[in-house]
Amino acid sequence: MLTRLLRDWRPTWLDVSLSLAVGVVGLVESFGRQGFEPEQIKDPMPLAVGAVISGVLLLFRRRFPMTMLLTLTTVGFAVQVITNTWYYAAWHFYSTLILVHTVGSAAELRSRRGIAGLVCVLIAYGHLQTLPDNDVAEILIKAVFVGVAYTSGILLRRQTDRTTRLAERTTRLEMEREERARWAVTEERSRIARELHDIISHNVSLMTLHVGGVRRMLGDSRERERELLLGVEQAGREAVEELRLMLGMLRSTKDGDPLAPQPGLDRLDDLIAQVKEAGPEVNLRIIGARRTLPPGLDLSAYRLIQEALTNVLKHTQAAKVDVTFAYEPAELSIVIVNDGAGPGRIPNGGGGHGLIGMRERTAMHGGELSAGPITGGGYRVFARFPLGDPAEVG
């Protein structure tokens, strides 16, 4: 067992520094004060050996604090008996204070180990009272030093425990935040899948109905064309059925509800009117000629603006919001800027689930999104969606 304990032991640089300091000071004290006067050391060798031993004990102070304190007390008593002198070495007192501090920081006082540590401290203090020339002032001075060393160890341990708890709490909160972010991404992707399911199913159903109508309009003389159209019609019905089987579970509506197209930029005026009723002034500006967008892109642009305006209502006290569309030959850019006036302003979508959803929708179409506060107050959301050739899109 001792081998395992020593294998896990690693002295710190502080332990090594204290060990060297006590050892070197003890050697200097032992040989530097050698002499035959009352305040000098007649036989320095026992004190020098004791100084070296105390320095070694300090290397193990974190691993075996109580054992090292009791061993140091024994060493001090042995040196006192061997030398049979009235001289008390300073290195022993310094080492005692260091180990008392370490014992105080080793365990909670209300635990068994803490009570055992307090007993060891009292034993060490009791040994200090056996030294010669102990008067009332000397007893009180040693009591103050030992008490301060032990109390500082307790305070250090409590501060360390508090710091550890705060670090663990911070780590736990960070993990929870990342988990919520992953959940938000999953939810947003599920929502996008539901919406795309509605769009694709709706459009494929219309294509199938149109093909069926054309097939019925052909006469009997166009049997080959009728067969081809019938194949297309059947393929469309199979595609809709596969969509219902694969993505139908993601739909939030009931199975019997009819498929309906999702909102797009054509319903933007209604959305802006709703936001205006809630308080802030919303200004819409369109640059360039409007173009017909693919249904998925049309829906994503609408949802992005909807989320940005919702964040304005939820997280700011904005008095004015500017929404700008720019139809360019190769891209569609959207800028939403609010003034964020008033106290308690929180950045629009600042790192929350709303911003996650907007990033997902923008990235789905190969676009870019940036969001952040602007100089002078307010918040700006910018999104860019790449477009194909106008003739192809329109």
Q: What value, to the nearest 5°, has the Cα angle with vertex 322 and ends 192 and 193?
A: 0
Whole-Å CA distances, 30 to 33, 41, 45: 6, 7, 7
User: What is the C-alpha to C-alpha distance for residues 29 and 240, in angstroms, rounded to an integer?
Assistant: 95
Q: Residue 234 domain-assigned?
A: yes
Burial class (CB in 10 A: 0-12, 13-18, 19+), 203: middle
Following CA atoms 324, 197, 292, 328 in sequence, which dihedral angle do they give, to the nearest 10 degrees? 50
| Residues present in the chain in total | 394
User: What is the C-alpha to C-alpha distance for residues 252 and 288, in angstroms, rounded to an integer?
Assistant: 36
What pTM was estimated for this model as a whole?
A: 0.49
> What is the pLDDT at residue 256?
44
User: How crowded is residue 380: how many other Cβ atoms within 10 Å of its Cβ?
Assistant: 17
First to last CA, the chain: 80
| Domain identity same for 301 and 368 | yes
Q: Which of 134, 165, 199 is the last residue of a domain?
A: 134
- DSSP-derived secondary structure for 30-67: HHHTBSSSTTSBS-HHHHHHHHHHHHHHHHTTTTSHHH
- Nearest partner of 327 among 358, 371, 293, judged by Cα: 293
Residue by residue, pLDDT tens for the chain (394 residues) are 556 555 666 788 888 888 898 889 888 888 887 777 766 677 888 888 988 999 899 998 888 899 999 999 999 888 888 887 767 788 889 999 999 999 999 888 888 888 999 999 999 988 888 776 677 888 888 889 999 999 999 999 999 889 989 988 988 888 888 888 778 777 777 776 766 666 666 667 667 766 777 667 776 666 767 677 777 777 776 776 666 655 555 554 444 444 445 678 888 888 888 888 777 888 999 998 888 888 778 888 888 888 888 888 777 778 889 999 899 888 999 999 998 754 334 444 444 556 777 888 888 888 999 988 888 888 899 999 998 654 444 4
| Domain identity same for 234 and 344 | no
- Nearest partner of 361 among 321, 338, 330, 334, judged by Cα: 334
* Cα 152 off chain centre by: 32
DSSP-derived pairing of the beta strands 331-338 and 320-327: antiparallel
- Nearest partner of 41 among 49, 32, 50, judged by Cα: 32
Contact 48, 33 (CB under 8 A): no
> What is the pLDDT at residue 43?
80
> What is the pLDDT at residue 232?
73
* Cα 270 off chain centre by: 40
User: What is the C-alpha to C-alpha distance for residues 16 and 240, in angstroms, rounded to an integer?
Assistant: 75
User: How crowded is residue 101: how many other Cβ atoms within 10 Å of its Cβ?
Assistant: 22
Q: Residue 84 domain-assigned?
A: yes
Whole-Å CA distances, 287 to 194, 284, 291: 31, 10, 11
Q: Residue 170 domain-assigned?
A: no
* Cα 6 off chain centre by: 35
Q: What value, to the nearest 5°, has the Cα angle with vertex 238 and ends 236 and 239?
A: 65
> What is the pLDDT at residue 146?
92
| Domain identity same for 294 and 342 | yes
Residue 243 belongs to domain spanning: 176-250
Q: Which of 250, 281, 311 is the last residue of a domain?
A: 250
Which helix or strand (DSSP H or E) is residue 4 part of? helix 2-8
| Domain identity same for 317 and 238 | no
Q: Diameter of the chain by CA atoms? A: 136
| Domain identity same for 294 and 374 | yes
- DSSP-derived secondary structure for 291-320: -PPPHHHHHHHHHHHHHHHHHHHHH---SE
| Domain identity same for 222 and 272 | no
| Domain identity same for 51 and 75 | yes
| Domain identity same for 18 and 125 | yes
User: How crowded is residue 383: how many other Cβ atoms within 10 Å of its Cβ?
Assistant: 24
AA letter at 132: P
> What is the pLDDT at residue 135?
75
Contact 48, 26 (CB under 8 A): yes
| Domain identity same for 47 and 110 | yes
Q: Residue 143 domain-assigned?
A: no
Q: Which of 110, 134, 158 is the last residue of a domain?
A: 134
Sign of the Cα torsion 276, 335, 367, 287 reads: positive
Q: Residue 145 domain-assigned?
A: no
| Domain identity same for 284 and 386 | yes
Q: Residue 11 domain-assigned?
A: yes
Residue 178 tokens, joined: 């990342």
| Domain identity same for 224 and 328 | no
Q: Residue 148 domain-assigned?
A: no
Count the domains in the chain: 3
Sign of the Cα torsion 289, 295, 301, 306 reads: positive
Residue 373: give its domain's CATH number: 3.30.565.10
| Domain identity same for 117 and 182 | no
* DSSP summary character for residue 11: -
Helices (H) and strands (E) in the chain, counts: 12, 5
Q: Residue 260 domain-assigned?
A: no
Helix axes of 65-83 and 112-128: crossing angle, nearest 10 degrees: 20
